[in-house]
């Protein structure tokens, strides 16, 4: 009896010790993550976007994007697939990401083969959206609705990586400050800067997207009065086409010029540069005209802007 009693007590102690240690076991951790009703945490959530509402994973991992490769990489997410032209722009950073065709010419079979949990698109037609939705839940984020910070924030919200998006934003703004400090003795404060993009039949004066984001937002240069007025009305103001006769209204102390790579655009710049209107622009008179490489400056992603920041420092220091 005595031996049996001690055996029972020993067994009881063992059970209690096991129960006490159980809080660190995988089973207990899973139970601890459940709510008070004992239900498992939700694996999906409803997400509102430009095309309505869609049920997506709480924290997606396997994602294909038609637009936002750079933005996803900025928050630590490497998509399974993306359009080929966007991958080319990223160089080595795109390693391991599959091509899904070109923008507007998507390979739906390839997207299906990648078996994504989620697809993130930019501006797409309803027909394209319907095709994508048959493969996986699809979220549409309109390109012109956000600036570069808004694009990354949207990716953070969709991927449930808000803290990563916020960390990127803080670090990116710090880069802007560093570049401004490098140029503070080169660019005179209070001076204006204009951005012209020369095309065969039009001259586009840019606002705060593409070329303008780096110059006006990152470097905090002052746009010409008509551009400044448009930006005040629309914080995402892109560009306005102007005639040669109107260029004096968009004159500035510093002038940044880009040309499309075709022969007609180059010929157009040559013609414009020989006119009296061009010669009388303040920036031209004072030899403050800077040519921007279209391949570097036309992009509007985090990775594009980092390249632009590096180039603008080199460009202005040379002068």
Two structure tokens written together for 93: 């950073």
Instruction: Between 14 and 120, name the one with better pLDDT.
Output: 120
Beta-bridge partners for 291: 257
Two structure tokens written together for 300: 């509007």
**44-161: CATH number:** 3.40.50.1980
Beta-bridge partners for 113: none
Please state whether beta strands 203-206 and 193-198 pair in parallel, antiparallel, or not at all (unpaired).
antiparallel
Kindly report, residue by residue over 69-95, the tens digit of the pLDDT. 999 999 999 999 999 999 998 989 999
Whole-number pLDDT of residue 20? 41
Whole-number pLDDT of residue 188? 81
Give the fold, CATH level 3, of 170-318.
Rossmann fold (3.40.50)
Whole-number pLDDT of residue 127? 96
Which phi and psi (to 5°) does residue 155 adopt? -65, -40
Whole-number pLDDT of residue 41? 63
Q: How far apart are CA 199 and CA 262, in angstroms?
A: 9
Kindly report, residue by residue over 40-63, the tens digit of the pLDDT. 567 999 999 999 999 999 999 999
Two structure tokens written together for 90: 């990223």
Distance of CA 254 to the CA centre of its chain: 27
Kindly report, residue by residue over 27-43, the tens digit of the pLDDT. 333 333 444 445 556 79
| pLDDT exceeds cutoff 70 at 149 | yes
Q: Which of 170, 176, 151 is nearest to 309 (CA)?
A: 176
Q: Which of 193, 199, 224, 168 is nearest to 288 (CA)?
A: 193
Note the residue count of the chain.
Answer: 319
Query: What average pLDDT does the structure give for the chain?
Result: 88
Whole-number pLDDT of residue 220? 93
Whole-number pLDDT of residue 26? 32
Lowest mean pLDDT among 121-135, 176-190, 201-215, 231-245: 176-190
Instruction: Between 298 and 68, name the one with better pLDDT.
Output: 68
Whole-number pLDDT of residue 82? 98
Kindly report, residue by residue over 258-272, the tens digit of the pLDDT. 998 889 999 999 999
Q: Encode burial over 177-186: b for 16+ CB neighbours within 10 A, e otherwise.
A: eebeeeeeee
Residue span(s) of the chain under CATH 3.40.50.1980 come to 44-161, 170-318
Two structure tokens written together for 268: 């157009």
Kindly report, residue by residue over 92-106, the tens digit of the pLDDT. 999 999 999 998 899
User: What is the helix (H) or strand (E) element at residue 20, kind and residue range?
Assistant: helix 2-21
Whole-number pLDDT of residue 19? 40
pLDDT band at 317, cuts 50/70/90?
A: confident
| pLDDT exceeds cutoff 70 at 193 | yes
Which phi and psi (to 5°) does residue 255 adopt? -130, 130
Whole-number pLDDT of residue 27? 32
| pLDDT exceeds cutoff 70 at 160 | yes
Whole-number pLDDT of residue 81? 98
Q: Which of 226, 228, 291 is nearest to 255 (CA)?
A: 291
Whole-number pLDDT of residue 116? 98
Beta-bridge partners for 183: none
What does the DSSP 8-state code read for residue 89? H
Lowest mean pLDDT among 62-76, 131-145, 183-197, 204-218: 183-197
């Amino acid at each position: 009896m005595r031996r049996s009693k001690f055996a029972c007590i020993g067994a009881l102690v063992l059970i209690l010790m096991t129960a006490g240690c159980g809080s660190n076991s995988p089973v207990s951790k899973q139970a601890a993550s459940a709510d008070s009703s004992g239900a498992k945490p939700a694996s999906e959530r409803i997400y509102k976007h430009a095309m309505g509402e869609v049920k997506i994973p709480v924290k997606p991992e396997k994602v294909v994007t038609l637009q936002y490769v750079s933005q996803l990489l900025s928050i630590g997410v490497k998509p399974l697939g993306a359009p080929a032209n966007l991958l080319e722009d990223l160089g080595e950073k795109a390693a391991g990401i599959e091509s899904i065709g070109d923008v507007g010419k998507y390979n739906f079979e390839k997207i299906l083969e990648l078996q994504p949990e989620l697809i993130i698109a930019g501006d797409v037609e309803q027909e394209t959206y319907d095709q994508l939705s048959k493969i996986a839940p699809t979220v549409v984020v309109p390109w012109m609705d956000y600036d570069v910070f808004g694009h990354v924030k949207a990716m953070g919200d969709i991927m449930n990586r808000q803290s990563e998006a916020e960390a990127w934003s803080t670090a990116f703004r710090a880069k802007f400050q560093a570049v401004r400090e490098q140029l503070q003795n080169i660019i005179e404060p209070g001076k204006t800067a204009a951005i012209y993009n020369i095309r065969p039949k039009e001259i586009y004066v840019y606002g705060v997207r593409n070329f303008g984001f780096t110059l006006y937002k990152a470097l905090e240069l002052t746009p010409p009065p008509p551009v400044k007025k448009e930006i005040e009305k629309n914080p995402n103001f892109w560009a306005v086409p102007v005639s040669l006769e109107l260029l004096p209204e968009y004159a500035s102390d510093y002038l940044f010029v880009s040309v499309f790579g075709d022969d007609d655009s180059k010929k157009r710049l040559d013609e414009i540069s020989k006119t009296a209107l061009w010669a009388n622009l303040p920036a031209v008179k004072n030899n403050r005209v800077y040519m921007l490489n279209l391949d570097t400056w036309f992009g509007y992603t985090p990775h594009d802007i980092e390249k632009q920041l590096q180039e603008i420092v080199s460009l202005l220091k040379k002068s």
